[in-house]
Amino acid sequence: MREILRNDANEFPVAALEREMALRGKSLEFGAAEIDDLLEIEYGDRRTFPLLSLLYPFVDTRQLHHVDHIFPKGLLQPRKLAVAGCDRAMIEACVGNRDRLPNLQLLGGTLNTVKSDQEPKAWFEATYRDPSSLREALDRNDLGELPDGAADFVRFYEARKERLRARLAQLLGAKSAAASPLEEAAAE
């Protein structure tokens, strides 16, 4: 690495450093695999709050904010999902995904306490009564159209996951179409 830095005095040798690190099995770029790993971060992980803060810079982290489940855990319990008409596979998908990044947001401490285990659509509509402020809040948080109930959680989750994937790719400068330096080194 030092040799690369010494040999190229005109400009910083980003590409050469990336190739060298890739030969060592370490990529310096974010690609699809790294973004997918970030999307799997769960509630309680020490990286969740900073990642949500990066994704949503409008959040004033100087104020108390909680990592909040968009669809509360209480609504995504197997018994409640069965009563809502979900089959076994749907229940497993809901429970398996409820604590992952696409179902998490940063919410002010007071708002989070008030929200509790309410359905997200009903809570957002009650909190943001004006249609334009409701739309702004949904768009700002990449929520899209909130479904009426937990039976549609998986559809909501997958749609938000794709919006988060796009936001992360842009934020991290991920090169989705081009081969990563690790892939280029493996090809050599």
Above 80 in pLDDT, residue 180?
Answer: no
Q: What is the pTM (predicted TM-score) of this model?
A: 0.79
- The mean pLDDT value for 161-167 works out to 96
- The mean pLDDT value for 36-65 works out to 93
Q: 56-112 pLDDT, tens per residue?
A: 998 888 888 899 999 999 999 999 999 989 999 999 999 999 999 999 999 987 777
Reported confidence tier of residue 8, pLDDT bands at 50, 70, 90: low
CB 32 within 8 A of CB 26: no
Lookup: tokens for 112:
């989070």
Above 50 in pLDDT, residue 177?
Answer: no
The percentage of the chain sitting over the pLDDT mark of 90, rounded to a whole number, equals 59
Q: 112-147 pLDDT, tens per residue?
A: 777 888 899 999 999 999 999 999 999 999 999 999
Q: From start to end of 97-175, where are the E strands?
A: 104-108
User: Tell me, what's the pLDDT at 176?
Assistant: 52
Above 50 in pLDDT, residue 184?
Answer: no
The percentage of the chain sitting over the pLDDT mark of 70, rounded to a whole number, equals 91
Which candidate, 144, 168, 138, places its Cα nearest to that of 156? 144
H/E segment holding residue 67:
strand 65-69
Above 80 in pLDDT, residue 52?
Answer: yes
What does the alpha-carbon distance between residue 105 and residue 47 come to, in Å, rounded to a whole number?
13
Question: Cα 169 to chain center, whole Å?
Answer: 11
